[in-house]
Amino acid sequence: MTATHQVKLKPGDTIGILGGGQLGRMLAMAAARLGLRCRMFSPDPDSPAFDVVLNATCAEYADVEALELFAADVDVITYEFENVPAAAAMILAARRPVLPNRKILETTQDRLAEKDFVRQIDIGTADYADVCSAASLRAAIARIGLPAVLKTRRFGYDGKGQAIIQQGDDTDRIWEELETRSAILEAFVPFEREISVIAARSAEGQVECFDVTENEHRDHILKTSRVPADIPDALAAQACGIAEKIATALNYVGVLAVELFVVKGDGGPKVLVNEIAPRVHNSGHWTLDGATISQFEQHIRAIAGWPLGKPVRHGPVIMTNLIGEEINGYERWLTVPGAAVHIYNKGTPRPGRKMGHITQVLPQTQNHTTQGR
């Protein structure tokens, strides 16, 4: 089985998952519900995803022999993080279908390539400029203005590899502190709110979007997701249309997340794309308990060559991340009526580390600010 269009798994077949974090863990649990097995690949022996599968490969992504053996044992390969090394993806793709297509990684691993792609398909983003030196940063600021956000082109997440630049800041020092040679400067977006769309696309081109999620970050890390987002229906439809356009343009198979800013426009609020995540996403965790089909199941269905589901939401939903030491409060959450508790078993909590999450489906009459805490 090598070509994407030939993937058609049957119960008992095995999915290979690159990465062993909580996303891989929840993907493997969703696969198990559908009668599919998973084999994980991760260099970290303490990977939380190893807990829920029988077979795992603990090896570096540069270990060619381990990659070959892994590929031989699975029917299709997917990933739970976007920084899969290109060489590893190439070795695997020569042996088994890799879904989503590994070419998508080239676009989404690089903030500049990603923004160029989004603009090429006529979707709005913040103004941005390529930055490769202190001098080019000064030139970019002259064009884009301040405040602005300087981001490394690669390997940034949860606010890491980012700096906000304000009037009067020492830009040469900020450039040095970022310790990179390739960055992007983005205009600071004075957003009203942040939203995301979790979309699934099948190999046949069927696209299903979950209801638009409204996200709040604390210290650049997602803290809560609320569904539905408090935005007009037309704007929600527009956001879903953008996710569908992106998924279709990428010939995407699987689940992707599109993060957007809602900003004031002349004729009412409008959206700008911030980021694309070529994988299941934290802002879609609410779907595990808040909808009939989760983002994890949709992803498994898509890469298995199965029809996507039509998820039905159970009501207004709030998802709260348990970050760092907050996980130690899990016993209190266990007693909150209606709260679904998810613990990732990631060992000792570290500041900023996502350790678990809580989902609460609220009565239709209750709004998000009156959750049962």
Least distance from ligand AMP to the Cβ atom of residue 154, Å: 12
When CB distances to ligand AMP are compared, the closest residue is 189
- Specify the 3-state DSSP secondary structure of 232: coil
Q: 154 or 313, CB closer to ligand AMP?
A: 154
Which stretch, 5-13, 184-192, 241-249, 357-365, contacts ligand AMP (CB under 6 A)? 184-192
Q: State the nearest-atom distance from the C-beta of 162 to ligand AMP, in Å.
A: 6
170 three-class SS: coil
Indicate the residue among 49 and 104 with the shorter CB distance to ligand AMP.
104
Residues 6+ apart with CB under 8 A from 253: 4, 99, 100, 101, 201, 202, 203, 302, 303
Q: What is the DSSP string of 93-106?
A: HTTS-BSS-THHHH
CA distance 94 to 370: 52
DSSP single-letter state for residue 363: P
Q: Which is nearer to ligand AMP, 186 or 297 (CB)?
A: 186
Q: Nearest approach, Cβ of 259 to ligand AMP (angstroms)?
A: 6
Q: How far is the CB of 115 from ligand AMP (least distance, A)?
A: 10
Counting residues that bind ligand AMP (by CB under 6 A) gives 13
| Least distance between ligand AMP and beta carbon 159 (Å) | 5
Question: Between residue 117 and residue 156, which ones bind ligand AMP under the rule CB under 6 A?
Answer: 126, 149, 156
Q: How many CB atoms lie within 10 A of CB 129?
A: 20
Residues between 327 and 366 that touch ligand AMP (CB under 6 A)? none
> What does the DSSP assignment read for 181-212?
S-EEEEEPP--SEEEEEEEEE-TT--EEEPPP
DSSP secondary structure string for all residues of 280-331: --GGGTTHHHHBSS-HHHHHHHHHHTPPPP---B-SSEEEEEEEGGGGGGHH
Q: Show the site string, 239-268: x = touches ligand AMP by CB under 6 A, - = not.
A: --------------------x---------
218 binds ligand AMP (CB under 6 A): no
- What's the CA gap between 12 and 58, in Å, rounded? 22
Instruction: Give the integer Cα–Cα distance in Å for 79 and 329.
Output: 31
Residue 110 as a binder of ligand AMP (CB under 6 A): the answer is no
- Using rule CB under 6 A, residue 88 touches ligand AMP: no
- State the number of CA atoms in the 13 A half-sphere of 61 facing the CB: 15
Q: Rule CB under 6 A: is residue 275 a binding residue for ligand AMP?
A: yes
The verdict on 194 binding ligand AMP (CB under 6 A) reads yes
Residue spans of beta strands (DSSP E) within 51-202:
55-57, 76-79, 128-131, 148-152, 162-165, 183-187, 193-201
Residue 217 interacts with ligand AMP (CB under 6 A): yes or no: yes
Is 82 a binding residue for ligand AMP by CB under 6 A? The answer is: no
Give min distance, CB of 64 to ligand AMP, in A: 32
Q: Is there binding between residue 81 and ligand AMP (CB under 6 A)? A: no
CA distances 8 to 13, 17, 31, 78, 93, Å, are 10, 17, 14, 14, 17
Candidates 38-46, 101-109, 166-174, 183-191 — which segment interacts with ligand AMP by CB under 6 A?
183-191
- Per-residue mark of binding to ligand AMP, 307-326 (x: CB under 6 A): --------------------
Judge whether 166 and 146 are in contact, CB under 8 Å: yes
Is residue 272 at the binding interface for ligand AMP, with CB under 6 A as the rule?
A: no
Which of 5, 143, 220, 332 contacts ligand AMP by CB under 6 A?
220
Question: Considering the complex, what minimum distance in angstroms separates the CB of residue 220 from ligand AMP?
Answer: 5
Are the C-beta atoms of residues 357 and 343 closer than 8 Å to each other?
no
Shortest distance in whole angstroms from residue 228 CB to ligand AMP: 19
For residues 294 and 90, give the distance between their C-alpha atoms in angstroms, rounded to a whole number: 29
345: region left, alpha or beta (phi > 0 left; psi from -120 to 50 alpha): left
- Specify the pairing of strand 76-79 against strand 14-18: parallel
115 or 301: CB nearest ligand AMP: 115
Using the minimum distance from each CB to ligand AMP, give the nearer residue, 28 or 148.
Answer: 148
- Chain contacts with ligand AMP (rule: CB under 6 A): 126, 149, 156, 159, 186, 188-189, 194, 217, 220, 259, 274-275
